[in-house]
Structure 1
């Protein structure tokens, strides 16, 4: 089973054992993942709250690649900055979003990471069709390195944000000439209006996704429970099995024949003394042999 967490690269003294030297770079992610019991996962290469370029030394990039290959099943995925808006009609924001995405794609190539995950963003008045057109044209202007794939993440669907409906995901695939994939966030999918609370509901939602988008495009799953119910469009993650998806829904997701072999990255909160290690172990317990 490929399951891990979204881990930080920050800090100056992270090691998985007494014999491993400390690092102050991307290699922290590998050691944190091991400490949590994960074997794949997600990272930010820089602060997601500001327009900043990843700072990678050759030593750090080579170390990250070699330690990942030695210790993890993989794959990693980079999550783009929160400020990126592919759908925007505003020239300045579009330019900054393009520059940020290109930097992440280049970093992924150096790090040996096969995916860069990004939200479509908000159309802010351009409309659904206009927003999807904007996103597709921006994606097609990027220089995507060989071996790296852009993943469009499903959204909770609040306001003018796109990606909450499967038709939006299908729409961006249809519009772009770039070979993109999809990352489904289970919490986002639930609150966007798709039931995931029972085995029957999970099977129906997966079937609709296949009909509208195509399971061949699904590359990664953000496995999160939700503090809010179906169709509320409120994005707030919960501990695995302790939200509205619940244990029955989570068990159905991680064992579904069309999903079980995909990598799962957790973005769960730390609450009541339960952090990533607890959540990863919970997922493993829900998985059938």
Structure 2
């Protein structure tokens, strides 16, 4: 089973390998810099080599780079659009340097452009990227609050169909649940997976952000909970990690550190749920 967590690169990106091993993961996700600012990843050659060598020696992979929170592909504002494209180009270039297969990004908010306008903006922004060979951009499902797009599977499908790139999808379980896709029962999980397959295509799903939700289905509230201890719960989470269409995918956790539990506890819980299924 490929399961891991979003870990820190403090002190150098190569430290992410040991940080992932420390929490019991065999794949994972990183930011290349603070996600709250516009910043160059600035990864040195030596640390990139150490990262690649450490990954090859100790982890199953894959790694995912999560783009900056400031990126908004759907925006109608020219200056934010250009900053977003530049930031994404730096991320896909960093992924190539590190041997990382995926760069994950939210579509963002249309802020008045409308759904169709926002999706068109996202496609045109993505199509300006020069994506290196071996790197795939993943569009992440969203909780769907406000004018944010990506909460509906149809949004993801539209972007994948219209883009010149061979894009993929990262499905965040907490986001999908918040957006109204009920994953709290085995039957619900089966229904959501079938709907995803019908609308987007299961072959386009490359990664799962495995998170429970602190809020009820359809609330559009994005707040993650420990695995099995949120509103999705044990039954839903167990079916997600054991569903035959999902078992070979990498599961990357973004669960909280609270109540004496952190990534290590959650990763072990995921493995227990798979084993007990």
* TM bin (shorter chain): over 0.9
Residue 167 of structure 1: SS of its match in structure 2?
helix
SS in 2 for 1:287: helix
Distance 2:172 2:102 in 1: 15
RMSD over aligned CA atoms reads 0.6
- Provide the TM-score with structure 1 as the length reference: 0.95
The CA deviation string for residues 18-69 of structure 1, in whole angstroms up to 9 with x for no partner, is xxxxxx2111110010000000010000000000010111000011000000
What do the CA deviations read for 1:121-179 (whole angstroms, capped 9, x no partner)? 00000000000100001111100000000000000000000000001001101111111
SS in 2 for 1:151: strand
What CA deviation, in whole Å up to 9, does each residue of 1:59-98 have, x standing for no partner? 0001100000000000000000000000000000000000
**Aligned residue runs from structure 1 range 119-198, under 5 A:** 119-198=106-185
Runs of 4+ in 1 over 2 A off after TM superposition: none
The match for 1:235 is 222
- Alignment-derived partner of residue 239 in structure 2: 252
Quote the Cα distance in structure 2 between the aligned partners of 1:129 and 1:172.
10
Which residue in the other structure is 1:111 paired with? 98
Q: Which residue of 1 aligns with 2:9?
A: 9
Structure 1 unmatched runs, 5+: 11-23
Aligned to 1:273: 260
Task: State TM-score, norm by structure 2.
Answer: 0.99
Q: Does 1:53 align with 2:62?
A: no
Q: Residue 222 of structure 1: SS of its match in structure 2? A: strand
Asked if 1:26 corresponds to 2:34, the answer is no
Question: Shift of the alpha carbon at 1:288?
Answer: 2.9
1:14 aligned residue: none
Give the Cα–Cα distance (whole angstroms) in 2 for the partners of residues 263 and 188 of structure 1.
17
CA distance in 1, matches of 2:206, 2:46: 29
The unaligned stretches of length 5 or more in structure 2 are none
